[in-house]
Every structure is written in C-alpha cells, then in structure tokens.
Amino acid sequence: MSNVRNFALIVAASTFLAACTNNPYTGESEAGKAGIYGGIGAVTGAVIGAATSSKKDRGKGALIGAAVGGAAGGGYGYYVDKQEAQLRQKLVGTGVQVQRNGDQLTLIMPGNITFASNSSDISSSFYPTLNSLVTVFKEFDKNGIDITGHTDSTGSLALNQNLSNARAQSVASYLAANGVASNRISAFGAGPNQPIASNATEAGRAQNRRVEITLRQL
C-alpha cells in the first residue's frame, strides 16, 4: 500500500509540475497541447527518476525526473502550437497547405502558385506568400527548414531532377536573402520520385508539381 500511495503522490506532483512549467522557448506558461505533452513527459520522467534513485531518495528522484520530463515534453510542442497558428493565419487564401504530424510542420505549395511551367524563377504572385513565411521563420527561429522540390513524371528524369533542385534552391535563396539564417535551411530536389497522386491524369500531375517545406526541431 505504501508503494501505491507513494506512486500516486509522484504522479500528482508530476502533473502539477508540468502545469507550472514555463516554456523554455518563449518564457510563457504552457497550455493546450503542450500541457498534454508536458504531463506525459512529467509522468515518464517521474517513473524514470524513481527507478534510477536509491530507495530512500526515490521520491526526490521522481520529482526531479518529473520537472525535467515535463519541460522536455511540453517545450517544443508548445512552440509548434504557436508557430502553426501563425502560419495558418498568414497563409489563409494563398493555396498553401499547412499539415502537422506530431511536432513536425509541413507546408505544401502547389506548382501553379510558385513557378511557371518548366521554370525555376519564382512567380511574382508568390512573393507575398514567401514574405509571410520569412516573417514567421524569423520570429520562430528554433527549427530547421527543409525545402524539397517535386515534379510530375512528364519529360526525362534528368530534366525533372534538375528542375526540382533549382526550384528548391530558388526558395531557399529567397528566404536566406531576406534574413532567414542560411544554416537552418536545406534544399533538395526529389524530381518525380515522391508523387502524392497518379501521374496518369492532369489533375494528379498538377498535385505532384509542388514545393514542400518541412519544419523540424534543430
């Protein structure tokens, strides 16, 4: 009974500590999804802390583990919450999709709003969207920016590979030229090798012609 009671106290303390943790990136109190992440991290940290401490220090170890686990679990999740909200607000009506998978954000930019056919020159109508991205990326500067160019399967593999490389590099160069730290940015061309729709139809090929930006924790 004593062990059960002690563990219940540890879990309660872990949850409390997670709720009280300030975000290490912004200094704000954590809430929303980050509270869930922090709570999970805190409980996990408490269990590990208790298991790796001597019997007499088990309670102390659990509390230390809870504090560390809560901060680690909640910090970046909260940061991504804020960044996602900013991106969705600024990209309304642009045609850019914002997708989230865990703590990874992906921006999908279809070819019809980014580049002219068979060109790596940024379309003039796309500059306002890129400027919005620059603003958000400079404010939220704690993640890497992976830019990938994609094409459909029309034409030779070499042509498509070169075109996808050039388009990814064009976006990367624009971000860097406007103040986004270049050491955060990578650019890669996938050519036609990562389709998201069938290349047998025009609609499918249009979906495959795209640039994606993936934001990941550094």
Domain boundaries, given as residue ranges, for the chain: 2-84, 91-217
Whether residue 78 contacts residue 84, with contact meaning beta carbons closer than 8 Å, is answered with no
Q: What is the pLDDT of residue 75?
A: 87
Q: What is the pLDDT of residue 117?
A: 86
Q: pLDDT band at 53, cuts 50/70/90?
A: low
If one compares 10 and 197, the residue with the highest pLDDT of the two is: 197
Give the mean pLDDT of 98-121: 94
Q: What is the pLDDT of residue 27?
A: 47
Q: What is the pLDDT of residue 124?
A: 94
Q: What is the pLDDT of residue 55?
A: 59
175-203: b (≥16 Cβ within 10 Å) or e: bbeeebeeebbebebbbbeebeeeeeeee
Q: What is the pLDDT of residue 173?
A: 98
Q: What is the pLDDT of residue 77?
A: 93
Interatomic CA distance for residues 175 and 7, integer angstroms = 50
What's the pLDDT tens digit per position in 57-97?
Answer: 556 555 555 445 544 556 889 999 999 999 999 999 999 99
What's the pLDDT tens digit per position in 24-37?
Answer: 444 445 455 555 55
As to burial, measured by CB atoms within 10 angstroms (0-12 exposed, 13-18 middle, 19+ buried), residue 2 is exposed
Whether residue 218 contacts residue 175, with contact meaning beta carbons closer than 8 Å, is answered with no
What DSSP assignment string belongs to 148-216? EEE--S-S-HHHHHHHHHHHHHHHHHHHHHTT--GGGEEEEE-TTSS-SS-TTSHHHHHHHSEEEEEEE
* In the chain, % of residues over pLDDT 90: 63
Instruction: Just give the CATH number of 91-217.
Output: 3.30.1330.60
